């Protein structure tokens, strides 16, 4: 099932008509996804799924109760509202409860593409064919995934709030490996637009990485200058994004807390080259008109204090190295007598010029990293994380890639990484972020890894 704005508004109004609680929120989400998966030189699966999720949250007297269902039968919806009210009555009073949002002016966010929405198995097969034919020509094994995702979402409340949005997204990635299993290469991208997916270029890049990473030389762990490709940097910055919280900083639980109390807002933390923002209007990684997710009480995170449902806007977090903003939900803003600052979900980092190859040319000795995986938080207050490299690591000497080396486990903080930046390439979309490649000194690789 999909909804136009008028249909979503009518359905929301129907659900809200059953409500007896002081406040009631409705979140509608419809998803239609289709994919083609390939491995061992052929297509292995191709399928599609459709689903809807309707979340109803009743709130009053400092309590809240939520129910999620996946049907639109009027009786089921009536029972869903009644059940959410029963749960509300049973819930303890939330000490962080705040009143619901009234009508909001949501901005227009263009995240829809007709070509992506109309793409079927035949259109996905074109990208898949590029990977399969490239792998056969290079005598490599390949696997990968091509998927389109279409979403229709809406939020509404008894306080006459209403918002509607639709979005399209397509992702394509492939991993290629050498016949002896010692070399692995990955490449991929995502976009709202199917025409942005450069399948031939992606496949060729994965093939080059697989061949050039085979039979890696043994290299000891330690601190190295690193050249991180955009995907590798995006893998690390996700943890930084989650840490941009004013409350955590105020309470002394964050890297952005000041010793002795207060926050580091206004302090120069990184070098002049670092500017980081959230921008739902960036056409490369568009967001939604409202901040946050749709479930669990769209405007109120759990019981009452979230920033979800606030109009999305561009927010600069780091401006030329200076911490300018931290996200702040409605509860904490009320308690501290400040304005809420929504976190709109994506991250856009300004880059430099040139390519990753240019970063390599300027490196006397260092390691080139394709991407990271299995990243876990070690210390939230320093932002230290640990994880593994994968799909290709190379030693760079005198401005050239000299040889492939083994994979590593790393223990490092993305904040420290940004403090040690030497150069940036041009920023590109990774599908969820816009980031450059980066060269930074003194990155800590703590041990070797047997992964390929």
The answer to whether residues 159 and 100 touch, using CB atoms and an 8 Å cutoff, is yes
Average pLDDT over all residues of the chain: 94
| Closest to 267 in 3D by CA, of 338, 218, 326 | 326
Distances (CA, A) of 196 to 188, 200, 268, 357: 12, 12, 37, 22
DSSP H stretches of helix in 262-329: 301-304
The answer to whether residues 406 and 443 touch, using CB atoms and an 8 Å cutoff, is no
Contact partners, residue 199, CB within 8 Å, separation at least 6:
126, 127, 128, 130, 131, 172
pLDDT at 306: 53
Instruction: Give the Cβ contact number of residue 222 at 10 Å.
Output: 12
Q: Which helix (H) or strand (E) holds 327?
A: none
Distance, in Å, from the CA atom of 346 to the CA atom of 104, rounded to the nearest integer, reads: 21
Backbone angles phi, psi at 204, to 5 degrees: -65, -40
Distance, in Å, from the CA atom of 292 to the CA atom of 301, rounded to the nearest integer, reads: 9
- At 285-343, the pLDDT tens digits run 999 999 864 333 344 333 334 546 899 999 999 999 999 999 999 999 999 999 999 98
Distance, in Å, from the CA atom of 377 to the CA atom of 374, rounded to the nearest integer, reads: 10
- At 56-94, the pLDDT tens digits run 999 999 999 999 999 999 999 999 999 999 999 999 999
pLDDT at 238: 87
Strand partners, 53: 29
Distance, in Å, from the CA atom of 260 to the CA atom of 181, rounded to the nearest integer, reads: 53
Distance, in Å, from the CA atom of 202 to the CA atom of 186, rounded to the nearest integer, reads: 8
Backbone angles phi, psi at 199, to 5 degrees: -65, -40
Q: Per-residue pLDDT averaged across 217-228, rounded?
A: 98
| Closest to 171 in 3D by CA, of 429, 441, 436 | 429
Q: Which of 121-135, 219-233, 334-348, 383-397 has the lowest mean pLDDT?
A: 334-348
The answer to whether residues 227 and 437 touch, using CB atoms and an 8 Å cutoff, is yes
pLDDT at 51: 96
pLDDT at 88: 97
Q: Per-residue pLDDT averaged across 180-186, rounded?
A: 97
Q: What is the helix, strand, coil percentage profile of the chain, to 5?
A: 25, 40, 35
| Closest to 30 in 3D by CA, of 222, 144, 166, 185 | 166
pLDDT at 301: 39
Strands of the 162-177 sheet, one edge to the other: 63-69, 42-60, 23-39, 141-157, 162-177, 184-191
Strands 365-379 and 222-228: parallel
- At 396-442, the pLDDT tens digits run 999 999 999 999 999 999 999 999 999 999 999 998 899 999 999 99
Where residue 241 falls among pLDDT bands split at 50, 70, 90? confident
- At 354-366, the pLDDT tens digits run 999 999 999 999 9
Question: Which token pair is 53?
Answer: 């999720």
Q: Is the model's pLDDT at 39 over the cut of 80?
A: yes
Q: Using the 8-state DSSP alphabet, how is residue 214 labeled?
A: S
Contact partners, residue 259, CB within 8 Å, separation at least 6:
none
Looking up tokens 């083994």, which residue turns up?
406
Backbone region of residue 345 per phi and psi (left: phi > 0; alpha: psi in -120 to 50; beta: other values):
left
Instruction: Give the Cβ contact number of residue 204 at 10 Å.
Output: 17
pLDDT at 17: 98
Distances (CA, A) of 318 to 8, 177, 251: 37, 39, 20
Backbone angles phi, psi at 232, to 5 degrees: -65, -40
Determine the distance from the C-alpha atom of residue 51 to the mean position of all C-alpha atoms in its chain, rounded to a whole number.
21
In total, the chain counts a number of residues equal to 452
Dihedral over alpha carbons 435, 132, 207, 143 (to 10 degrees) = 70
Distances (CA, A) of 439 to 164, 227, 259, 365, 367: 41, 4, 30, 11, 10
Q: Which domains does the chain have, with CATH numbers?
A: 5-210 (3.30.2290.10), 216-279+314-452 (no CATH)
Distances (CA, A) of 47 to 53, 70, 171, 195, 314: 20, 20, 15, 21, 36
Percentage of the chain with pLDDT > 70?
A: 96
Q: Is the model's pLDDT at 283 over the cut of 60?
A: yes
Q: Per-residue pLDDT averaged across 168-175, rounded?
A: 97
pLDDT at 295: 34
């Amino acid at each position: 099932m999909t909804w136009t704005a008028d249909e979503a508004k009518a359905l929301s109004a129907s659900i809200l008509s059953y409500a007896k609680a002081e406040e009631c929120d409705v979140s509608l989400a419809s998803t239609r996804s289709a994919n083609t998966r390939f491995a061992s030189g052929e297509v292995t699966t191709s399928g599609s799924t459709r689903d809807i999720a309707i979340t109803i949250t009743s709130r009053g007297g400092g309590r809240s109760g939520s129910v999620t269902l996946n049907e639109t039968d009027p009786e089921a919806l009536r029972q869903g509202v009644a059940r959410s009210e029963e749960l509300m009555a049973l819930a303890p009073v939330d000490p962080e409860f705040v009143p619901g949002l009234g009508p909001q002016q949501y901005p227009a966010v263009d995240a829809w593409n007709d070509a992506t929405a109309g793409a079927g198995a035949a259109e996905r097969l074109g990208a898949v064919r590029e990977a399969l034919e490239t792998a056969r020509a290079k005598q490599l094994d390949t696997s990968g995934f091509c998927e389109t995702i279409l979403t229709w979402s809406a939020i509404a409340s008894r306080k006459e709030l209403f918002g509607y949005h639709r979005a399209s997204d397509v992702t394509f990635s492939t991993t290629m490996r050498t016949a002896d299993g010692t070399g692995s290469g990955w490449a991929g991208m995502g976009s709202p637009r199917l025409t942005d997916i450069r399948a031939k270029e992606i496949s060729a890049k994965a093939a080059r990485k697989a061949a050039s990473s085979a039979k890696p030389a043994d290299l000891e762990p330690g601190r190295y200058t690193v050249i991180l490709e955009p995907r590798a940097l995006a893998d690390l910055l996700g943890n930084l994004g989650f840490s941009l919280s004013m409350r955590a900083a105020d309470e002394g639980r964050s890297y952005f807390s000041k010793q002795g109390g207060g926050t580091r807002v206004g302090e120069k933390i990184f070098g002049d080259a670092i500017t980081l923002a959230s921008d739902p209007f960036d056409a490369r990684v568009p967001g939604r008109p409202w901040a946050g997710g749709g479930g669990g009480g769209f405007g109120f995170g759990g019981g009452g204090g979230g920033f979800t449902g606030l109009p999305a806007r561009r927010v600069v977090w780091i401006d030329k190295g200076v911490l300018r903003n931290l996200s702040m939900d409605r509860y904490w803003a009320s308690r501290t007598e400040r304005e809420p600052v929504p976190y709109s979900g994506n991250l856009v980092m300004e880059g430099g010029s040139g390519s990753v190859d240019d970063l390599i040319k300027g490196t006397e000795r260092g390691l080139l990293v394709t991407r990271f995986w299995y990243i876990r938080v070690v210390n939230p207050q320093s932002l230290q994380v640990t994880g593994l490299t994968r799909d290709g690591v190379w030693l760079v000497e005198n401005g050239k890639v000299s040889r492939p080396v083994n994979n590593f486990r790393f223990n490092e903080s993305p904040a420290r990484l940004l403090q040690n930046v030497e150069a940036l390439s041009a920023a590109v979309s990774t599908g969820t972020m816009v980031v450059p490649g980066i060269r930074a000194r003194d990155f800590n690789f703590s041990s070797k890894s047997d992964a390929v």
